[in-house]
């Protein structure tokens, strides 16, 4: 299938700022792009591209005071299959984990492993290591945490998600990641596009999405505690320890978001420039 991807982000900047972004498709999907994946900036400024410490393609901008607009559109080819899954993939012994995977067992800004270890052991210690345990964690978070845009809070960590039992997609993933790490399953945060492909359209404007990945059987697998089901058409943009490492934009200075649109729509192969009417409205 072909998927039309795009975004239109607008800001009001009271003073000049430096901004970093993670608005590009992840390098692992470059080969699937059928159009250039370019960041357009208004006013025109230089765009410095670089790979961050997690291998994501990032950019750095120096923006003047006033209105700023970041936008982009591209087309990607996707197999249209559901998230890969192999229930026989086993949990890897700590002594055999690749060194670069070990950091995904550690506490991070939004994943307080040290504060939730006893709770994780009590809730999931009786499950079998591997997929049974990951599935139990994802099921528990999905059923015990309520989704609410109105109660979103950028400072909420996994412990607060556990006690408050409410959040947005990033909060679901942070709690699931933390429980996995508590039980020696490497887990990382992932962000990207996930449109309503193969499912009924959601009753709210489209947004970038968050999910999580676990390391089992020598590779990373996609999981999603928010939707708790395998989906088609995910397009990865960034991975990291938690949402800190995968922020779509980070502004070093004051800024106000004045407009926010995201598009992730399946389009007919014969008409790649036609988009469906479902896209985000202003935030």
Given the structure tokens 């005071």, which residue do they identify?
65
**Statement: residue 274 has pLDDT above 50:** no
272, part of any domain:
no
Let me know whether 220 and 134 are in one domain.
Answer: yes
Let me know whether 111 and 200 are in one domain.
Answer: yes
pTM of the model: 0.92
pLDDT at position 222 is 98
The string of DSSP letters for 59-72 reads EEEEE-SEEEEEEE
At residue 13, φ and ψ (nearest 5 deg) are -115, 110
Cα distances from 215 to residues 82, 95, 144, 218, 228, in angstroms, run 18, 14, 24, 7, 18
Do residues 49 and 30 lie in contact, with contact meaning Cβ atoms separated by under 8 Å? no
87, part of any domain:
no
- Both tokens of 175, joined, read 């709690």
Let me know whether 102 and 219 are in one domain.
Answer: yes
The boundaries of the domain holding residue 214 are 94-245
| CATH number, position 223 | 3.10.620.30
- Distance (Å, whole) CA 151 – CA 183: 29
Given the structure tokens 């390098």, which residue do they identify?
27
**Statement: residue 167 has pLDDT above 90:** yes
Let me know whether 221 and 258 are in one domain.
Answer: no
Q: What is the mean pLDDT of residues 125-144?
A: 97
86, part of any domain:
no
| CATH number, position 71 | 2.60.40.2250
Do residues 263 and 4 lie in contact, with contact meaning Cβ atoms separated by under 8 Å? yes
89, part of any domain:
no
Let me know whether 113 and 252 are in one domain.
Answer: no
Residue 107: which residues within 8 A CB-CB, separation 6 or more? 113, 114, 181
Count of domains in the chain? 2
pLDDT at position 203 is 86
142, part of any domain:
yes
**Percentage of residues of the chain with pLDDT beyond 90:** 93
- Distance (Å, whole) CA 157 – CA 242: 10
pLDDT tens string 194-237: 999 999 988 888 999 999 999 999 999 999 999 999 999 999 99
- Distance (Å, whole) CA 197 – CA 183: 33
pLDDT at position 268 is 78
């Amino acid at each position: 299938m072909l998927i039309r991807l795009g975004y239109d982000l607008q800001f009001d900047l009271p003073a000049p700022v430096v901004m970093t972004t993670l608005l590009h498709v992840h390098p692992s999907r470059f080969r699937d792009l059928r159009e250039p994946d370019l960041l357009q900036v208004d006013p025109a400024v230089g765009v410095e591209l670089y790979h961050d410490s997690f291998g994501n393609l990032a950019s750095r901008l120096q923006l003047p005071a006033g209105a700023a607009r970041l936008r982009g559109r591209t087309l990607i080819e996707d197999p249209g299959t559901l998230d890969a899954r192999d229930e026989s993939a086993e949990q890897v012994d700590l002594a055999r984990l690749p060194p670069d995977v070990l950091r995904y067992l550690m506490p991070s800004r939004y994943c307080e492993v040290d504060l939730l270890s006893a709770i994780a052991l009590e809730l999931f210690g009786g499950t079998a290591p591997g997929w049974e345990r990951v599935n139990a964690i994802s099921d528990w978070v999905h059923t015990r945490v309520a989704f609410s845009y109105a109660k979103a809070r950028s400072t909420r960590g996994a412990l607060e998600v556990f006690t408050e039992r409410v959040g947005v997609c990033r909060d679901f993933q942070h709690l699931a990641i933390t429980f996995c790490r508590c039980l020696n399953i490497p887990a990382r945060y992932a962000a990207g596009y996930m449109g309503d492909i193969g499912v009924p359209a959601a009753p709210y404007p489209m947004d970038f999405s968050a999910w999580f990945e676990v390391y089992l059987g020598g590779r990373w697998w996609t999981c999603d505690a928010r939707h708790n089901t395998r989906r088609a058409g995910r397009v990865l943009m960034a991975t990291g320890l938690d949402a800190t490492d995968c922020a779509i934009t980070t502004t070093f200075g004051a800024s106000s978001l004045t407009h926010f649109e995201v598009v992730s729509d399946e389009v007919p192969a014969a008409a790649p420039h036609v988009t469906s009417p479902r896209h985000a409205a202003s935030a």
